[in-house]
Amino acid sequence: MKAAMWYGRKDIRIVDAPLPELPPGHVLIRVAWAGICGTDRHEYTGPNFIPVTKPHRLTGRTAPLILGHEFAGIIAETGPGVEHWRRGDRVTANGTLSCGACEACRRGRYNICEKLGFVGVSRDGAFAEYVSIEAARLFPVPPGLSLRHAVLAEPLACGLHAARLLGDISGRDVAVVGPGVIGLACFFASREAGAGRILVAGMGNARRELVESCGGVYVDAGAENLREAVRARFGGAADIAYECVGLQSSLDSCLDILKPSGALMVMGVYEKPPVFRMNDFQEGERRLFTSQAHVDEIAPALGLLAGGAVDAERLITGEVTLDTLVRNGFEELLAHGEAHIKVLIRIGGE
């Protein structure tokens, strides 16, 4: 099968790989569409999480391996012990890999497993014609929702999970710093959770029309002072701030706009460890939250997409194939990342 194999920094090769093994409890999926995640982009210029010399603690794998964990496709074959799933079923999946035995797994929080791994980072993933996935991680794609659009359920689930961790945010003033796909997922999730005013801050105006047409307030942080902009729109500071960039400057901005007793949700992936202004944070009894992927939130994410609450097509800003993945996908994102929300890879089509 054709696959995008990661060998090292900026070294992704389109290769002819063997079909994935099909262990008990797994299904073989013919991939129709996949999405380039921010994690994939970090690995392209990394490595950050892909094991290179030391085998992964759960899978035992090291590079090279096939990238990709955002995808949708059709079941081609079921492995031993698989029930309730059949060939031809349209599915997407949670790409989390977990041990099933640690305390977190026993509590149903397998997204923070002690040996946590991910498809496409810790073992072969979905940037290929076929991928093997544990049946317990599958979700059916609702009738009427295309497989192309179903790919957006995974990043949207990240926002839903983060909002759920924050608890009741109804009526709260929310600021989202970083209007990439995860930031927009937090925006949509906060809206669905009943937040009051929601402000999204980014550099430039590429996301203004999308955010404002969906009921939010947009601020170009390159043209306005964000702290003053938040005070002008909210009449004060934010109750909740999502940090969705992973830079020192965006973390500082979130601390600047967060009111005493407010909640900071860190979603960004930091390639360089940030400095955290703990004294400023502590003196206002502010609360720090972090969020890791998701558990069962893909199901409600699919519902939002199928019901039209989130228009997936407006989030898709590019389309490539495996053959053009490096040039028109990864290199395009490095050069013009601000212009894109989600770039899809057409593999099997639909």
CATH classification of the domain holding 171: 3.40.50.720
Integer CA distances (angstroms), 339 to 56, 276, 292, 326, in order: 34, 29, 26, 17
Question: How far apart (Å, rounded) are the C-alpha atoms in residues 350 and 330?
Answer: 23
Asked whether residue 11 falls in the same domain as residue 143, the answer is: yes
- Residues with Cβ < 8 Å from 174, sequence gap 6 or more? 190, 195, 196, 197, 198, 199, 238, 239, 240, 241, 242
Residue type, 1: M
Is 295 part of any domain? Answer: no
Asked whether residue 239 falls in the same domain as residue 190, the answer is: yes
Instruction: Give SS3 for 7.
Output: strand
Question: How far apart (Å, rounded) are the C-alpha atoms in residues 136 and 82?
Answer: 9
Question: How far apart (Å, rounded) are the C-alpha atoms in residues 179 and 172?
Answer: 19
Question: How far apart (Å, rounded) are the C-alpha atoms in residues 95 and 74?
Answer: 16
Asked whether residue 18 falls in the same domain as residue 147, the answer is: yes
Q: Residue 271: what pLDDT?
A: 84
Rounded average pLDDT over 267-290: 94
Question: How far apart (Å, rounded) are the C-alpha atoms in residues 1 and 10?
Answer: 22
Asked whether residue 101 falls in the same domain as residue 193, the answer is: no
Rounded average pLDDT over 284-289: 97
Rounded average pLDDT over 156-164: 98
Per-residue pLDDT tens over the stretch 16-46: 999 999 999 999 999 999 999 999 999 999 8
Flag whether pLDDT at 349 surpasses 90: no
Asked whether residue 30 falls in the same domain as residue 144, the answer is: yes
Verdict on whether the full-model pTM lies above 0.75? yes
Asked whether residue 35 falls in the same domain as residue 147, the answer is: yes
Per-residue pLDDT tens over the stretch 173-197: 999 999 999 999 999 999 999 999 9
Per-residue pLDDT tens over the stretch 59-73: 999 999 999 999 999
Asked whether residue 11 falls in the same domain as residue 129, the answer is: yes
Asked whether residue 125 falls in the same domain as residue 187, the answer is: no
Is 296 part of any domain? Answer: no
Per-residue pLDDT tens over the stretch 191-224: 999 999 999 999 999 999 999 999 999 999 999 9
Asked whether residue 202 falls in the same domain as residue 329, the answer is: no
Question: How far apart (Å, rounded) are the C-alpha atoms in residues 147 and 135?
Answer: 18
Identify whether the C-beta of residue 162 lies closer than 8 Å to the C-beta of residue 297.
Answer: no
Is 279 part of any domain? Answer: yes
Question: How far apart (Å, rounded) are the C-alpha atoms in residues 150 and 34?
Answer: 10
Is 299 part of any domain? Answer: no
Flag whether pLDDT at 149 surpasses 80: yes
pLDDT band at residue 278 using 50, 70 and 90 as cut-offs: very high
Is 300 part of any domain? Answer: no
Flag whether pLDDT at 350 surpasses 70: no
Asked whether residue 106 falls in the same domain as residue 163, the answer is: no
- Domain with 118, as residue range(s), is 2-152+310-346
- Residues with Cβ < 8 Å from 57, sequence gap 6 or more? 115, 117
Rounded average pLDDT over 261-289: 95
Is 175 part of any domain? Answer: yes
CATH number of the domain that residue 106 is part of: 3.90.180.10
Is 318 part of any domain? Answer: yes
Q: How many domains does the chain have?
A: 2
Question: What share of the chain in percent tops pLDDT 70?
Answer: 100
Q: Residue 7: what pLDDT?
A: 98
Per-residue pLDDT tens over the stretch 307-331: 999 999 999 999 999 999 999 999 9
Per-residue pLDDT tens over the stretch 100-147: 999 999 999 999 999 999 999 999 999 999 999 999 999 999 999 999
